[in-house]
Structure 1
Amino acid sequence: MIEITASDGHVFSAYRAEPVGTAKGVVVVLQEVFGVNPHIRKLTDAFAAQGFVAVAPGLFDRVQKGIELGYDEASVAQGLDLVKQVGFEHAMTDIQATVDAFSGEGKIALVGYDWGAYLAYNAANRVRGPATAVAYYGCGITDDFSQKRRIPTLLHFGSLDPYIPLNQVTILRARRPDLRILDYPAGHHFNCEERDTYDATATEKAWTTTLLHLTHRLEGAPVVTLTNQGSYVSSGGKDKDKKKKAESVSDDMGPPM
């Protein structure tokens, strides 16, 4: 765990995971309403294993430090109450502080889940510094038809999610061509192995797409090497001129008989 200081002086904890070798960039993992619990730490470790510096800020620290909740009804109610106590603006302040703290370690992506997905989606337009944002089943996102994206944004939804009906996702997709929106035949929290709504197939598809998206946006598109590119450069393009002359000679069939 590390500590980060926000612009208003608030000091909060963050779980940091390191990649092996040179980092592709930075992934800021934004928590659900259950705190930086084992699931969020596991996701953070997974991003680090794929070559990213990964960090999950403790957004509940403004109310109480070290909160890790389960998934029963009481925990859900407690988590939602903590979300209200923290407030949207304070969450944005702490996300900005996290981005600022890692700005020297490469391009930065925001990846959020549930409440964190809603925060990632909004932070993409409010926080300075991120290069892209990815949001998993964020409630409230489908209500927004006005925020044109400042950075590329990828959204994952479950088509069987009772909290985010598929018709809302369909309308958002039609009205917001600036967003990349994917849906899977799965429910809410389909990416969490500890929930009964976990869906392995949807999780794997979303994970693969997310990694490709992050690698492209943070590390850059792969370099394309042309066949014989080196010999062409060394000849200063003369080989191309020779080819043109040869073609013109071969095309000359002489005078008609």
Structure 2
Amino acid sequence: MSEWLKVKASDGNELSVYVARPEGEPIGAIVLVQEIFGVNWHIRNVADEYAKEGYVVVAPALFDRYERDVELKYEGEDAKRAGEFWKKLNPETALLDIAVAYEVAKEVGRGIGVLGFCYGGLMSWLTATRGETLKMQPSCCVGYYPGGIGKYATEEPSCPVMLHFGGADSHIGADQIEAVRTAHPDVEIYVYEGAGHAFNRSVDPNTHHAASAALARKRTLAFFKTNVA
């Protein structure tokens, strides 16, 4: 079962959150943070799939600060628009929107994990390192191909973190991965050879790397089971 809810961040920003619920009693909750294409059909499908695993999944629409109901494809003019939205995104205000989604997730009364992809992967990392200032204390955080993480590599996470990178990712250099690995040897980092950026995006044949996506999902589910469920 899924639905859209309207919520309000602590600074007064009103935004939508997509909420996917399991059929039975939830074993935990996940805050799912979008790519730079909005909470589109792919992100909603990710939410629905994790709901089938027993989690209540809450995905905040980060673009609502700038324009409501944005849902972009991965090519052509939509790809250009995604780049324009990316330039507007501010991690500080994005964290406020994630924090209100976290409040929705708290209603489940169980552990909460944070899962993000691309920009959302970076925000998952920043939730782990800065979330406590916004009353977020996730059980764990998982980031897929978190672009720009090298800039924040020395920040200290307050919970277990797992990161997934494509070995052939042209957007994230090996130096960024090494910066995190050096600063935090306890962070679980996986690099998937032959996989590029957005390798989990099953609806995009230009980026999807099925074997890597399946293995990363298996590892993520086990991580959530250990730390959230």
Q: TM-score, normalised by structure 2?
A: 0.90
CA distance in 1, matches of 2:77, 2:38: 14
Which residue of 2 is the match for residue 187 of structure 1? 196
CA distance in 1, matches of 2:221, 2:45: 16
Runs of 4+ in 1 over 4 A off after TM superposition: none
Which residue of 2 is the match for residue 40 of structure 1? 43
Larger Rg: 1
Which residue of 2 is the match for residue 125 of structure 1? 129
CA distance in 1, matches of 2:105, 2:157: 22
- Partner letter of residue 58 of structure 1? A
Structure 1 range deviating more: 191-200 or 112-121:
191-200
* Contact 1:156-1:206 within 8 A present in 2 as well: yes
Superposition RMSD in Å: 1.5
Instruction: Tell me which of 66, 71, 76 is aligned to 2:74.
Output: 71
* Contact 1:100-1:129 within 8 A present in 2 as well: no
Structure in which a larger fraction of residues adopt strand: 2
**Alpha-carbon distance, 1:167 to partner:** 4.9
CA distance in 2, matches of 1:8, 1:176: 32
Deviation per CA, 1:206-247: give whole Å up to 9, x if none: 00000000011012xxxxxxxxxxxxxxxxxxxxxxxxxxxx
* Contact 2:137-2:158 within 8 A present in 1 as well: no
Which residue of 2 is the match for residue 240 of structure 1? none
- Partner letter of residue 153 of structure 1? V
- Is the counterpart of residue 146 in structure 1 residue 149 in structure 2? no
* Contact 1:149-1:179 within 8 A present in 2 as well: no
Question: Percent identity over the alignment?
Answer: 33
* Contact 1:60-1:83 within 8 A present in 2 as well: no
- Partner letter of residue 116 of structure 1? G
Instruction: Tell me which of 20, 24, 37 is aligned to 2:23.
Output: 20
Q: TM-score, normalised by structure 1?
A: 0.81
Q: SS in structure 1 opposite 2:62?
A: coil
Q: SS in structure 1 opposite 2:159?
A: coil
CA distance in 1, matches of 2:125, 2:179: 17
Which residue of 1 is the match for residue 219 of structure 2? 209
- Change in Cα spacing, 1:209 to 1:77, as seen in structure 2 (3 Å) is same
Deviation per CA, 1:144-195: give whole Å up to 9, x if none: 3411221111000000111113354245324421311001111101001122
**Alpha-carbon distance, 1:56 to partner:** 0.9
Asked which structure has the greater RCO (Cα within 8 Å, sep 6+), the reply is 2
Deviation per CA, 1:49-105: give whole Å up to 9, x if none: 000001111110111111001111532331232233342221111111111222131
In the alignment, structure 2 segments of 5+ residues that lack a partner are none
Which residue of 1 is the match for residue 166 of structure 2? 158
**Alpha-carbon distance, 1:35 to partner:** 0.2
